[in-house]
């Protein structure tokens, strides 16, 4: 199926299939593979510093008990996030990065866009008035290359209101009520799980650009592009990137 538009690849937590997710090696690998769009997740440390990690609980990626926002940043940046259950000791010594360290990868790469997802658990713990400004301050030097995203609608609205950042709403549902909220918010991007958008019909049209996540197969990427998706988000950066470039080179996509 020929897509209606170019579809771009977003590296979900970096090249998270081959490296520990949300770490600097995962992000650097995605860039080395040609990805121009990266997505990461952010929580606050106990002393208010944004760090890059998906879960509020440390156990899955670090093997430690406890929650990220109960520990100061000086401790967190020395916590190994090597996903030993997946990789064994292959990435021993790979630690949790700060958001500022991750954003530093944008230096001298003006073509790269970083989607920063503000996690709801930190918003619930510290409140919007603390979390959102701290996140914005960490990435302010790269504001033109950063998009603030979240499932939390007030958080992304506040990012636009107080910082002038581009925003993206990660949709909790794909239904008519949610569509009305999108039309009122007018975000630059809408993110949605592939399973939630179903099959067949065109995606909602608006001022936004669509990012559909949990995509691993080229057939799904092409089908979503034909429905109006602008981006597909994946952890399978190498495989899907190769397949997308192959389609482009053979003229099967534009």
Report the catalytic residues.
12, 54
- For residue 102 the two structure tokens come to 């991750």
Contacts of 144 (CB under 8 A, 6+ apart): none
Query: In Å, what is the CA distance from 241 to each residue of 30, 76, 145, 181?
Result: 10, 32, 21, 33
Contacts of 245 (CB under 8 A, 6+ apart): 34
- For residue 189 the two structure tokens come to 């991007």
**Helix 153-163 crosses helix 176-185 at what angle (to 10 degrees)?**
10
d(Cα 120, Cα 227) in Å, to the nearest integer? 30
DSSP structure class, residue 173: -
Burial 50-86 (b: 16+ CB within 10 A, else e): bbbbbbbebeebbeeeebbbebebeebeebbbbbbee
SS3 assignment, position 20: coil
């Amino acid at each position: 199926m020929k897509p209606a538009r170019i579809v771009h690849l977003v590296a979900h937590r970096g090249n998270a299939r081959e490296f520990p997710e949300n770490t600097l090696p995962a992000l650097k690998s995605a860039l080395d593979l040609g990805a121009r769009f990266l997505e990461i997740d952010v929580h606050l440390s106990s002393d208010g510093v944004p760090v890059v990690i998906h879960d509020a609980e440390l156990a899955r990626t670090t093997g430690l008990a406890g929650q990220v926002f109960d520990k100061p940043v000086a401790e967190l940046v020395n916590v190994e996030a090597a996903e030993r259950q997946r990789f064994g000791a292959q990435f021993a010594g790979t630690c949790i990065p700060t958001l500022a360290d991750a954003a530093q990868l944008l230096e001298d790469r003006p073509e790269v866009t970083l989607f920063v997802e503000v996690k709801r658990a930190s918003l619930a713990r510290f409140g919007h008035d603390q979390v959102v400004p701290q996140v914005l301050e960490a990435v302010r030097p790269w504001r033109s290359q950063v998009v603030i995203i979240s499932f939390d609608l007030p958080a992304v609205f506040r990012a636009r209101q107080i910082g002038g950042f581009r925003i993206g709403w990660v949709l909790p549902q794909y239904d008519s009520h949610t569509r009305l909220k999108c039309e009122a918010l007018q975000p630059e991007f809408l993110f949605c799980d592939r399973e939630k958008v179903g099959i067949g019909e065109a995606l909602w049209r608006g001022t936004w650009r669509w990012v559909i996540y949990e995509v691993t197969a080229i057939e799904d990427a092409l089908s979503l592009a034909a429905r109006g998706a602008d981006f597909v988000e994946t952890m399978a950066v190498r495989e899907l990137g190769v397949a997308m470039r192959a389609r482009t080179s053979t003229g099967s996509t534009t």
